[in-house]
Structure 1
Amino acid sequence: MGRDRRPSRGARERNGRRAAPGNPESAEAAGSSVIDTIRSFVAVLLEGAVRGELAAAIERLRPVSRDVAWVNPGNIHLTVKFLGNVDRDRLDPIVAALTGALGEAGAFDATIRGLGAFPSLARPRVIWAGVTEGADAMVEAAGRVDEALAAVGFPREARPFSPHATLGRVRRPGANPTLASALRAEEASEFGRIHVAGVRLMRSELSPRGAHYTELATVALGLS
């Protein structure tokens, strides 16, 4: 996923009820809520051609650093907001809130251009592809999403939204001049344009083979 947004302990407790450890009766009572809890996020999906260009960039970078866990190209997306573990019965209110918030936001085009890293090229933890043209519209849409979901119980983002697509995560962060140089060489690389007509509510399932994403709902822009 795009930004690494981990919910606070309080958010996890609000969004996903957990049985007390070592208490079978408590576990049984909470069983249905555990089963019905979904790890989810709101995202803008990328078109196939753009994902293909980003996959090629990953292949160019792969020999430079063996210490990067690269995202499966089919999973590359722009995260708008990470929700964490959410009870299934909250999904309809989430979709309704998103629909109301985005109904007056028009569709737009965005350009995926340039590679970078958080927190810095000198000591990268997350490698990303950025958004240039269309970034302001993306920030506006993300702000609408944040406000709408705050109204149904999700915490507001503490940091300003920075649109990007996560390409990889460094397993042991530290200084890597070779990787930094390779990323600088890609700062002007253009990976294509996308048409953003809506956002998707996604389910994320984690396994030893990696993350698997499933689309739960689509919310179109500009349908009020």
Structure 2
Amino acid sequence: MSNTTRLFVAAALPNELKQYLGEQASHYQQEAIRPVPAENLHLTLYFIGNVAATQLPSIKQVTQHIARQFPPFDLHLEGIEPGPKPRSPRLIWARFESSEPFEQLSQSLTQALSPVPPNNRKSIPHITLARFRKDRPAPKHLEMLLPEQPVVLQVKEIAVWHSELASPHPRYTILESYPLAHNLP
């Protein structure tokens, strides 16, 4: 058994949103694009990385404490497009509009869980839908897809996730979830 574990903090997605995103991502079907399985779709708030397994209880406790400080919030889908750099994309993502609650929650988690001081770079709320294959030429001329009607992700809880590297996709497991609970009865 390994004495390290690979972790991140993220919000799970409702099945309806996973289905919608999967349908939209199918517009990008090409040999050079590898879709993320629906069960792996999530909204990352902070990637922790490899840590000693003995740190897991502390990470869970800190994450729960931070979750209690924030109210639930909504994210509004801006579009689905290649990213994160438009001129040299490496993935297809569902990008949400900037959100102060998301940014504050992400920064709080980063400051509390990062072993090095954070760079205070703004996080872009997004869900990775597909990755470009490294063994194929990068796809060209991929268009942005705009939602035909408003698409909203309600973030009501966050979780500590375990990531197990595997082929062709990593396996993700929610270890423990915590409701966003500020000002709730």
Change (3 A) 1:143 1:111: same
* Distance (whole Å) between structure 1 residues aligned to residue 151 and residue 122 of structure 2: 25
2:124 counterpart (153, 162, 166): 162
Please name the residue that 1:101 is paired with.
66
The aligned residue for residue 205 of structure 1 is 164
Stretches of structure 2 lacking an aligned partner (at least 5 in a row):
none
Q: Given the alignment, which residue of 79, 93, 103 partners 1:114? A: 79
- Partner AA of 1:90 in structure 2: Q
What root-mean-square deviation, in Å, do the aligned CA atoms of Structure 1 and Structure 2 show? 2.4
Q: How much has 1:92 moved relative to structure 2?
A: 1.2
Encode CA deviations 1:133-165: one digit per residue, 9 max, x unaligned. Answer: x72211111111112214xx3552563211100
How many residues are paired up? Answer: 182
- The answer to whether the Cα contact below 8 Å between 1:83 and 1:154 also exists between their aligned partners in 2 is no
- What is the DSSP-based 3-state SS (H/G/I as helix, E as strand, rest coil) of the residue aligned with 1:207? coil
Structure with the bigger RCO (C-alpha within 8 Å, sep 6+) is 2
| Separation in 1, partners of 2:119, 2:55 | 19
The answer for the alignment partner of 1:29 in structure 2 is none
Letter in 2 for 1:58: A
Could you tell me which amino acid in structure 2 is paired with residue 147 of structure 1? Q
* Partner Cα separation in structure 1 for residue 73 and residue 84 of structure 2: 28
Fraction of identical pairs, as percent:
26
Q: Moved runs in structure 1, 4+ residues, more than 6 A?
A: none
Q: Whose Rg is larger?
A: 1
Structure 2 length as normaliser, TM-score? 0.85
In structure 2, the residue matched to 1:219 is 178
Q: 1:106 to 1:95 in 2, by over 3 A?
A: same
Distance 2:4 2:109 in 1: 21
Q: Structure 1 residues 95, 70: closer, same or farther in 2, change over 3 A?
A: same
Secondary structure of the equivalent of 2:165? strand
* Larger fraction in helix: 1
Quick one: structure 1 residues 54 and 90, their matched pair in 2 at CA, closer, same or farther if it must change by over 3 Å?
same
AA in 1 matched with 2:93: W
SS in 1 for 2:20: helix
